[in-house]
Amino acid sequence: MKAGNNRISIPAILEVGKGNLSYIGALIEKSGFSNIVMFLGQGINDMFGERIRQSFKFQSTKIVKTIESDNIDINSIVKTAFTIPAEADVIVGIGGGKALDVAKYCCFLKKLPFISVPTSASNDGYSSSSCSLIIEGKRTSVNAVIPYGIVVDIDVIKEAPEKYIFSGIGDLVSKITAIYDWEFEEKNGKGKVDDFAVMIAKKSVNSFVRTEFKSIREDFFIKELVDSLTMSGIAVEIAQTSAPASGSEHLISHALDKILDVPKLHGLQVGVATYLMAKVQEHRFERVTKVFNSTGFFEHVKTHGLKASDLESAIDLAPSIKPNRYTYIHMDEYRQKAKQIIREDEILKSILVY
């Protein structure tokens, strides 16, 4: 990215704190919006609907339509987008990743600003401009819009099932191997690193992995996780490529998505692949190991029954996911090294099914 050539979009609203869901109406009105279309994930209305509606009780901003949808099929989203009232001036998505992706892509189609209100911190998707949709039966990553605003209620995030917190931890720590892959590409003349994006991405993960905590449900720990995932999403926007947040570990996870009948949570797959690739890269694997041990990530992964044979198959498939990239996993010698590590590494032996 040459200086002066790109205008970087960053969120104008960034509210991370306790109880924010009860103030969502005031936070949106403060930004001058009048007519809202609200996208809610499945179950969100039952859990939080009344609290959300009450937050608009004394605001001039009003909800003109509420849509409940987790259907990420692109054809369904296109139909939904054309049901959005003409007077709508902002779309607010509240829920997990699928609901936010639906809302985000509708914003892209209708050229409306998007306010992201995640109810879990399972990955950095809530802060990025990309979304994962089903196109012709296959899960595909597509560009949409970066959020105009991000509102996070720490109380909601920490009450989500622990698998989502562990998924967020796995996705965030993956920046360690992703950045190293990007720098590897540049060293081999296959890509160009954006230094500022790298700085932001490194700051996001380094701040998190040095956080002291007693429980992964502590307010401070959750806030660090959310802040760092948000910074990661912004690094992607700065770079205009997913490279600062997604490398060989993500390609392995995407390959698992294709191999498994029922894929595991994105961040759980990515976290396992991050540990593996950190060993392959011989880069900061001690730090990765320490974080995954101290948070309980490894212990949690044991409960998901991920097979070593599926991980090996994913390694072979991974380069074809993004053939234009040149990460460690694109080189045969490192794919063979990764398979050898799967067969010999004591931690992987303890968390995978052989």
Dump pLDDT digits (tens) for 62-106.
999 999 999 999 999 999 999 999 999 999 999 998 999 999 999
3-state DSSP assignment of residue 273: helix
Edge-first strand listing for the sheet containing 62-68: 13-17, 149-153, 114-118, 90-95, 35-40, 62-68
Least confident piece of the model among 17-31, 167-181, 281-295: 17-31
Task: Tell me the CB-side half-sphere exposure of residue 30, using CA atoms within 13 A.
Answer: 13
Nearest alpha-carbon partner for 129 in 21, 260, 244, 236:
236
**More confident site: 144 or 141:** 144
Q: Tell me the average pLDDT across 117-130.
A: 92
Q: How far apart are CA 338 and CA 346, in angstroms?
A: 14
Nearest alpha-carbon partner for 311 in 252, 263, 258, 351:
252
pTM across the whole model: 0.92
Q: How far apart are CA 84 and CA 281, in angstroms?
A: 48
End-to-end Cα distance, the chain: 45
Where b means 16+ CB within 10 Å and e means fewer, 196-219 reads ebbebbbebbeebbeeeeeebeee
**More confident site: 2 or 185:** 185
Please enumerate in sequence order all residues whose Cβ is within 8 A of that of 250, keeping only pairs 6 or more positions apart, or say none. 174, 178, 242, 270, 273
Per the listing, tokens 């939904």 go with 80
Q: Tell me the average pLDDT across 230-246.
A: 92
Which pLDDT score, from 0 to 100, does residue 6 have? 56
Per the listing, tokens 């190991």 go with 289
Checking if the pLDDT of 172 tops 70, the result is yes
In the chain, where does DSSP find H-type helix? 24-29, 44-54, 74-81, 97-110, 154-159, 162-173, 175-187, 195-209, 219-239, 248-259, 266-281, 285-295, 297-302, 308-321, 332-344, 346-351
CA 151-121-275 angle, 5° bins: 145
DSSP 292-350: HHHHTHHHHHHTT--BHHHHHHHHHHHHHHSTT---GGGSHHHHHHHHHHHHH-HHHHH
Which pLDDT score, from 0 to 100, does residue 10 have? 82
**Torsion over CA: 99, 100, 101, 105 (sign):** positive
For the chain, give the percent of residues with pLDDT over 70.
98
Q: Would you say how long the chain is, in residues?
A: 354
Q: How confident is the model at residue 3 (pLDDT cuts 50, 70, 90)?
A: very low
Which pLDDT score, from 0 to 100, does residue 140 have? 82
Q: How confident is the model at residue 141 (pLDDT cuts 50, 70, 90)?
A: confident
